[in-house]
Chains A and B, each alone.
Chain A
């Protein structure tokens, strides 16, 4: 289908973009890679007045070292993130998860920032941002603000961004030595979204788990951190038994959806199995 008519602006700098977005009012939308927005426009599920296209702001595509963190520009494409040496060296969980997102053509255009701002509960990167304690860097006419991932994903397709706020980048703390990571994604066809996904990082101390971070995709209207699993596995020996028993807590306190791809009960069960697998894979990595 053909999208409804809208105005279009293509700012050249972040300042210009912030101004254009503010001036365009509440019914404007930011256009990043367009890989989620364009289908919504074509199905007329979104009818914005204006699109502010960030595609030509080169500064937003930068990925840079920031001491004990890496800052990923919001417009860095999935394709770029997967190949970026800083991301591969310090944030392998992001590189590996991004490889499972969509397909090559979508990854050429879809962006890291767009995936977070879109706040799709089935999106893979929100859970990863949550597991890695990422901080989202936001600009608006009121200045800059930082939003921790734990406060960013508010509800189904709803982030903490105000209509006039632009996500400019994401600061992700590097995982130091000793961490293993894994993203366990369950889907039925290659390109499909996760029915459930588990983002996991484990720090080993000899033969036991010193610390683990676990966050879940599609186990509720927003990604959730599986605190009960993290507590249950801390200090436990590295073994299938401890991972299975810790994984048993994965669905604690979650409200997984029921849809065409699976019932709520099915997802709860899936989460426990996938979490055990993710812990084992991360501990072995």
Chain B
């Protein structure tokens, strides 16, 4: 965003003091400019401070691969990677992502291919309705970043912030372990049909 930031405030704009103490009607609230990289492309936008990152992704950028499942930060359906770490994008403001790198489920797999994690979810039947799946996949990638070879229990712990109302989790655990193996041994994966 352009203000208040490390850059000098633009000429004639308000100081922190004026901005915050001058009464203003809600529709007159300031629209900071943000710059974010999402799935490899850079975007610059003026946003209302109250705009949630998930709404920015879905409504402004059309990245509807990231769903909203709750209002309480519990379900994890909206999980994306922010500078490489999993976050619940319903619990981050778009302005907080200014300058950051965001990866959504739509950023996985290049040129029409699927990511090993997506493939494993498919092959292990780790989804039914699929609502939780984007969040599950992003949280699983975060887990493997720190622990490339998790046990069943470690997968369950790593995904404790992601709720699934359909699968009973068994196949999700299997899928994550399969993806972990495939990602550790990519060559071996290629010869498996």
Do these two chains interact? yes
Looking across the interface, which residue of chain B has its beta carbon closest to that of A11? B4
The yes or no answer to A259 lying at the interface (CB within 8 A) is: no
In the complex, the answer to whether A7 meets B49 with C-beta atoms within 8 Å is yes
The yes or no answer to A156 lying at the interface (CB within 8 A) is: no
The yes or no answer to A41 lying at the interface (CB within 8 A) is: yes
> Per a CB cutoff under 8 Å, which of B17, B48, B76 touches A103?
B76
Q: A7-B29, A39-B73 are in contact. Are A24 and B156 (CB under 8 A)?
A: no
Tell me which of B86-94, B114-122, B126-134, B176-184 binds A: B86-94
Q: A24-B20, A104-B158, A191-B161 are in contact. Are A39 and B26 (CB under 8 A)?
A: no
The yes or no answer to A6 lying at the interface (CB within 8 A) is: yes
Alpha-carbon distance between A124 and B29 when the two chains are bound, in angstroms: 36
Within 8 A of A (CB), among B1-42: 1, 4-6, 16-17, 19-21, 24, 26-27, 29-30, 32
The yes or no answer to A89 lying at the interface (CB within 8 A) is: no
The yes or no answer to A161 lying at the interface (CB within 8 A) is: no
> Per a CB cutoff under 8 Å, which of B50, B71, B74 touches A6?
B50
Alpha-carbon distance between A105 and B138 when the two chains are bound, in angstroms: 10
Alpha-carbon distance between A43 and B71 when the two chains are bound, in angstroms: 7
In the complex, the answer to whether B87 meets A108 with C-beta atoms within 8 Å is yes
In the complex, the answer to whether A25 meets B50 with C-beta atoms within 8 Å is no
Q: A109-B87, A191-B161 are in contact. Are A8 and B32 (CB under 8 A)?
A: yes
In the complex, the answer to whether B90 meets A42 with C-beta atoms within 8 Å is yes
Tell me which of A49-57, A65-73, A224-232 binds B: A49-57
Alpha-carbon distance between A279 and B109 when the two chains are bound, in angstroms: 51
Instruction: Specify the main secondary structure of chain A where it touches its partner.
Output: mixed
> Per a CB cutoff under 8 Å, which of B87, B95, B157 touches A10?
B95
Contacts of B91 in A (CB 8 A): 34-35, 38-39, 106, 109
Chain B CB within 10 Å, residue with most, of A1, A24, A106: A106
In the complex, the answer to whether B6 meets A1 with C-beta atoms within 8 Å is no
Within 8 A of A (CB), among B129-180: 139, 142-143, 156-158, 160-162
Alpha-carbon distance between A25 and B16 when the two chains are bound, in angstroms: 12
In the complex, the answer to whether A3 meets B71 with C-beta atoms within 8 Å is no
Contacts of B66 in A (CB 8 A): none
Contacts of B16 in A (CB 8 A): 9, 11, 16, 19-20, 23
The yes or no answer to B124 lying at the interface (CB within 8 A) is: no
The yes or no answer to A260 lying at the interface (CB within 8 A) is: no
Q: A12-B6, A38-B91, A103-B76 are in contact. Are A5 and B26 (CB under 8 A)?
A: yes
Contacts of B26 in A (CB 8 A): 4-5
Q: A1-B71, A39-B71 are in contact. Are A106 and B88 (CB under 8 A)?
A: yes
Alpha-carbon distance between A66 and B74 when the two chains are bound, in angstroms: 37
Contacts of A34 in B (CB 8 A): 91-93, 96
21 contacts between A and B (CB under 8 A): A4-B50, A5-B27, A5-B49, A8-B93, A9-B20, A10-B5, A10-B95, A19-B16, A24-B20, A25-B20, A28-B20, A34-B91, A34-B96, A38-B90, A50-B20, A103-B160, A104-B139, A105-B79, A108-B82, A108-B85, A191-B161
Extra inter-chain contacts (8) besides given A7-B24, A43-B71, A102-B161, CB under 8 Å? A3-B50, A10-B4, A12-B4, A25-B20, A34-B93, A39-B71, A55-B96, A104-B160
6 tightest A-B CB contacts, nearest first: A103-B161, A8-B49, A190-B160, A24-B20, A5-B26, A38-B91
